[in-house]
A and B are shown apart, each in its own frame.
Chain A
């Protein structure tokens, strides 16, 4: 399949109302070819926002610009904006190939014929053998499903069909509404890397809605955090989890140790994650540019060099101690030979904090197991 020239998207002072949900005065800019994430808790109105961008919902105020063109009043069928829903929304009365051919068939049939029932069916069957349909199925590795009906497919397969169907019309913009949320973890992982590959290969602009922070970090060039109908923060993933702009973002993102790294093969199932000249041992199959996270509860602190059974041991300096009830969060800056010090947050119980007798500015050892490193 040929590349798709993704176009830029600009939302200007957009206000949307649907039921009791309100989105007010939203301004966002997505660059052409960018993978943009709308991150927010369930019920933040992300779907309504997507449907407004697609033209399925009329905004109360504001403008939607696609490639610089004002499409606010344009009906959805003229926008060439592909949509993939969480629950795939495949046409149950059509085969996989016919589903994918649907958009092409419409483009190729004379108008009078398209509005007639069942006359369109014959055309759909013909177009199902079109090379572009075959290419789209091929690209998503579902060519063998072409003649099946959606009810006989697994969740992952359905989502691939939905993606192929949206991509075959060469969308100026691809909207993904929680595309991975209905899948089991294993298929989610596979389809996630598939999305990354498709975006890299096709160059389409993607706006992807999710409530999953990990998904946002793994896929997004930039992330916008939505809360109560407003954008709380927009920026690259690192900026969002390193410097949360509001209390909500900080809490939603969670207090986690998230880092970008380069994954290299280690021994057996192990991987070595390199960042700023440091090496972190992990158990993971991924290679290349990845992110990894370590839960604060999984990090052990000590005054002296740690027991060597922990694969990852670093020395650092305490920069902050935050007491929260029975727990205390200790931030330790680990100096990296080639780069900024890396801030690790460890959770310790208040008694052990007193045992350690830690103060800000003091030197400390921290360690965590290779199996505690979560790579994504």
Chain B
């Protein structure tokens, strides 16, 4: 009966703000619900069985996970350095990490193409070992990495910053090397922040369209598939795919949130 226990607004300010806020929440929830409810479960199931759709969704989730994995490997060290060290140019480094968030993502795609394109130095270098970026999965991964790594790096940095350096100091005096201190003390204590960064980054990668479409129109990721279906066949054909992607994203999002909550002590 929680609806009956709903607290009364304390004054008119609270009431006004609550109403304004409700408009925004409805603005987000309504279109999502509308899309989900427009498709029957059987229609969603039929859509999933189209090999083009399921391949695109699996590719999207997989490529985003790969981008997140890369960011963990390279971004956790960066986050730790930003949290613990002071060096000239630190503000610049922090700004560089944040820039992809504010650059239009199609522009980010162009920028990546300038460095990882077929005729570029890096493009040729990776090409020599069989890794191609243009119209290939690695291109999708780096596009996702580029536009979403700030979420992970910033969350991890804030997590590390919140760990008292005296805990690390005590661990050292008890016989732990710097590596051991990091793995036994700092990392576990920052883990909740890192996990929320992982979720945010992974979710952001899933939804990437602009940068991905410039580097790799094919193979098709889910956001690109929705766009091409809409362009070629119209709303009725794009909507079930959109509903499916929203549904799966929400599901995974809630599961990860729940796991993260459980990890709290």
- Give bound CA distance, A80 to B167, whole Å: 16
Contact across chains for B173 and A115 when beta carbons are under 8 A apart = no
Contact across chains for A56 and B179 when beta carbons are under 8 A apart = no
- Give bound CA distance, A79 to B175, whole Å: 8
Contact across chains for A56 and B172 when beta carbons are under 8 A apart = yes
Contact across chains for A82 and B176 when beta carbons are under 8 A apart = no
A85-B166, A89-B167, A149-B265 known; A54-B183 Cβ under 8 A: no
Contact across chains for B179 and A115 when beta carbons are under 8 A apart = yes
- Which A residue sits closest to B265, measured CB to CB? A93
Within 8 A of A (CB), among B140-184: 164, 166-167, 169-177, 179-180, 183-184
Within 8 A of B (CB), among A296-351: none
A89-B167, A93-B265 known; A117-B173 Cβ under 8 A: no
Contact across chains for B173 and A56 when beta carbons are under 8 A apart = yes
Contact with B along A14-57 (1 / 0, CB 8 A): 00000000000000000000000000000000000001001110
> CB of B187 within 8 A of chain A?
yes
User: Shortest distance in angstroms between B166's beta carbon and chain A's nearest beta carbon?
Assistant: 4
Contact across chains for B173 and A91 when beta carbons are under 8 A apart = no
Contact across chains for B169 and A51 when beta carbons are under 8 A apart = yes
Contact across chains for A77 and B173 when beta carbons are under 8 A apart = yes
Contact across chains for A120 and B184 when beta carbons are under 8 A apart = yes
- Which A residue sits closest to B166, measured CB to CB? A89
Q: Which residues of B contact A103 (CB under 8 A)?
A: 174-175
User: Shortest distance in angstroms between B174's beta carbon and chain A's nearest beta carbon?
Assistant: 4
A92-B189, A115-B180, A117-B183 known; A75-B172 Cβ under 8 A: yes
Contact across chains for B173 and A54 when beta carbons are under 8 A apart = yes
- Give bound CA distance, A2 to B167, whole Å: 27
User: Shortest distance in angstroms between B244's beta carbon and chain A's nearest beta carbon?
Assistant: 35
> CB of A102 within 8 A of chain B?
yes
Contact across chains for A79 and B179 when beta carbons are under 8 A apart = no
- Give bound CA distance, A212 to B185, whole Å: 32
> CB of B188 within 8 A of chain A?
yes
Q: Which residues of A contact B166 (CB under 8 A)?
A: 85, 87, 89
- Give bound CA distance, A81 to B170, whole Å: 10
A93-B188, A103-B175, A169-B175 known; A120-B169 Cβ under 8 A: no
Contact with A along B179-220 (1 / 0, CB 8 A): 110011101110000000000000000000000000000000
Within 8 A of B (CB), among A115-174: 115-118, 120, 149, 165-166, 169
Contact across chains for A83 and B169 when beta carbons are under 8 A apart = yes
Which of A102, A118, A120 is B174 in contact with, Cβ under 8 Å? Answer: A102
Q: Which residues of A contact B180 (CB under 8 A)?
A: 106, 114-115, 120
- Give bound CA distance, A56 to B172, whole Å: 8
> CB of A76 within 8 A of chain B?
yes
Q: Which residues of A contact B169 (CB under 8 A)?
A: 51, 54, 56, 76, 83, 89
Which of B167, B170, B175, B188 is A107 in contact with, Cβ under 8 Å? Answer: B175
Q: Which residues of A contact B174 (CB under 8 A)?
A: 77, 82, 102-103, 106, 165-166, 169
- Give bound CA distance, A77 to B173, whole Å: 5
Q: Which residues of B contact A116 (CB under 8 A)?
A: 183
- Which B residue sits closest to A103, measured CB to CB? B174
- Give bound CA distance, A92 to B179, whole Å: 19
- Give bound CA distance, A83 to B175, whole Å: 12
Contact across chains for A117 and B188 when beta carbons are under 8 A apart = yes
Contact with B along A81-102 (1 / 0, CB 8 A): 1110101010111000000001
Which of A79, A115, A166 is B177 in contact with, Cβ under 8 Å? Answer: A115
Contact across chains for B170 and A89 when beta carbons are under 8 A apart = yes
Contact across chains for B170 and A93 when beta carbons are under 8 A apart = no
Contact across chains for A77 and B175 when beta carbons are under 8 A apart = yes
User: Shortest distance in angstroms between B214's beta carbon and chain A's nearest beta carbon?
Assistant: 38
Contact across chains for B184 and A83 when beta carbons are under 8 A apart = no
Contact across chains for B173 and A76 when beta carbons are under 8 A apart = yes
- Which A residue sits closest to B189, measured CB to CB? A93
Q: Which residues of A contact B175 (CB under 8 A)?
A: 77, 80, 103, 106-107, 169
Which of A82, A93, A120 is B173 in contact with, Cβ under 8 Å? Answer: A82
User: Shortest distance in angstroms between A147's beta carbon and chain B's nearest beta carbon?
Assistant: 13
Q: Which residues of B contact A77 (CB under 8 A)?
A: 172-177
User: Shortest distance in angstroms between B46's beta carbon and chain A's nearest beta carbon?
Assistant: 43
- Give bound CA distance, A114 to B180, whole Å: 6
User: Shortest distance in angstroms between B72's beta carbon and chain A's nearest beta carbon?
Assistant: 13
User: Shortest distance in angstroms between A295's beta carbon and chain B's nearest beta carbon?
Assistant: 37
- Which A residue sits closest to B179, measured CB to CB? A115
Q: Which residues of A contact B170 (CB under 8 A)?
A: 83, 85, 89, 91, 165
- Give bound CA distance, A182 to B185, whole Å: 24
- Which B residue sits closest to A56, measured CB to CB? B169
- Give bound CA distance, A102 to B181, whole Å: 11
- Give bound CA distance, A91 to B181, whole Å: 11
User: Shortest distance in angstroms between B79's beta carbon and chain A's nearest beta carbon?
Assistant: 16
Contact across chains for A91 and B172 when beta carbons are under 8 A apart = no
Q: Which residues of A contact B188 (CB under 8 A)?
A: 93, 117-118
Residue from B166, B171, B172, B173 whose CB has the most chain A CB atoms within 10 Å: B173
A81-B173, A82-B173 known; A91-B167 Cβ under 8 A: yes
A89-B167, A91-B167 known; A79-B173 Cβ under 8 A: yes
- Which B residue sits closest to A162, measured CB to CB? B170
Can you report 8 A-B residue pairs in the complex whose CB atoms are below 8 A from each other? A77-B173, A81-B173, A89-B167, A91-B189, A102-B171, A106-B180, A114-B184, A117-B188
Residues of B within 8 A of A (CB): 164, 166-167, 169-177, 179-180, 183-185, 187-189, 265
Which 6 A-B residue pairs are closest in the complex by CB-CB distance? A103-B174, A76-B172, A117-B183, A106-B175, A89-B166, A83-B173
